[in-house]
Amino acid sequence: MTLRSAAPDSFDALPNPRGGAVRPAELALAEALLAFEQHGESTAALLRASHALREAGWLAAQRFADALVLVSPLASGNPADADSARPAFGAALNDFRAALERHNLRELSCSPTLFAHYRALSTHLSQHAPGSTVAFEDLALAARPVPPVSLHAQSADQLAHLRARYERALLPVLRSQPDSSGAALAATNAALDELEACLTELAGPDSYDFWRLAKACARALRVGGRATGDTDARRFYARCNLALADHARGIQRAPRSLVRATLALLWRDYALFGAAAEDADQVEVLHDYGLTVDWHVAGTQASEMLWEAGAAQAQAFTSAHAMPTRELGVLTVNAHAYEDFLQTADASISALTEHARAADQPEKADPSEALQAGDAAYRLGAAACALGLGHVALLADALGLAWRRRAHAGVSTPAVRSHVIVDAPAARALEQTAEALRAMLHKVAAGVAPPGSAAALAALTRSIEQGGA
């Protein structure tokens, strides 16, 4: 069971009371909204917001701000104009400003509400620049590496049989309505059971087999109540059918666009609402792809409401009291949260450095050690995300993904390794990334904004997506 927010419909997740704030961006958005309401020019203020968000490493939010920058000239015209982008722009700007002030980086990446605005803004842009399209994963996975994913060899007869079963079950799912009841609901659930059964039979032994990822996504969609009636869910099930056809033709690598879309859908609800113990299998898959979640245990509706009320009270207390803060460049952080982060980060980076040095000795390669290193990177990434250190969080999560690939390469059987498309990252790449993270954390500990992670992240991304150093 995953949590659902009791927040207003315009929001998707709970605020992060101890999270860092990008005050220059918040002030710029307030200025842009005032200018918009007064029919003035908002582009300059939005550009300042975009630059501040990029400096903070809030890259999904920066991408949203960039869309506002591009649409702002279209929205400054006469509001009576039937083709004006003004209503969509105003709604997007207002909700984006409110979401930014909640300091929840995962919400800014995975919010369906914000993505709906992003898509609406892009629709107006496409009228002036045809050919531009956007997808949910453009925000959710902004700047994140995605490893290559395989379609392991199976017999033609087996694939033909599974595709026939999948197609029979697919049609009633695509035709289903979210408010179905009685016999129609039972038929839809039976069809969804059959789709999951097909994905289970298709899944191969490689941790980076597409059907394993698809099975986890299908399960997450059902747990979240989004398997029917959700446009992205329907598209996912239909694209899996096309992937089955590719698989039957002997294609060995799943399309990158499909992998990214599936991964973003799998992460969406867990990123927003957290995961419970029964979601462990899906969370394990997310970890294999460099994504983390918060764990929440809410055995009853009452305990869930209590947890949400506590978070709301913490946010109200933080807003009402002048809490001590520290300035890290454009980022303002809670002083107590900052001190807690430094303690967590110090232990994690020490462990990562030791693991990286040991990884350069193949004769001592230990998959369990690699998994521990990945977990250390994820702890650092999650802590940085909670504090608002976007650059640190992205690089740490990517390092966690790199270690996961090393771990799975170490436990693979010869049969599995024969299907692996790209080798795991080299030890040198792991060590260089750990050193880059250490340098960033030294800046943070000194009360200085950490440098951007673009160069280190690009190098590690190449190692993850192409193999080698």
Return the pLDDT at 317.
56
Task: Dump pLDDT digits (tens) for 179-196.
Answer: 667 777 888 899 999 999
Return the pLDDT at 314.
56
Q: For the chain, what are the domain ranges?
A: 21-134, 156-288, 322-466
Question: Which segments in the chain show pLDDT lower than 70?
Answer: 1-12, 77-83, 129-132, 178-180, 297-322, 359-365, 410-422, 468-469
Return the pLDDT at 304.
53
Return the pLDDT at 316.
58
Rg from Cα positions in the chain: 23
**Distance between terminal CA atoms of the chain?**
40
Return the pLDDT at 8.
38
Return the pLDDT at 244.
95
Return the pLDDT at 3.
35
Return the pLDDT at 11.
61
Return the pLDDT at 410.
66
Q: Which CATH architecture has domain 322-466?
A: Up-down Bundle (1.20)
Asked if 57 contacts 391 with a C-beta cutoff of 8 angstroms, the reply is: yes
Return the pLDDT at 452.
86
Sheet containing 331-334: order of strands: 21-22, 331-334, 325-328
Task: Give this prediction's pTM.
Answer: 0.90
Task: Dump pLDDT digits (tens) for 394-418.
Answer: 999 999 999 999 998 865 555 455 5
Return the pLDDT at 225.
87
Return the pLDDT at 129.
67
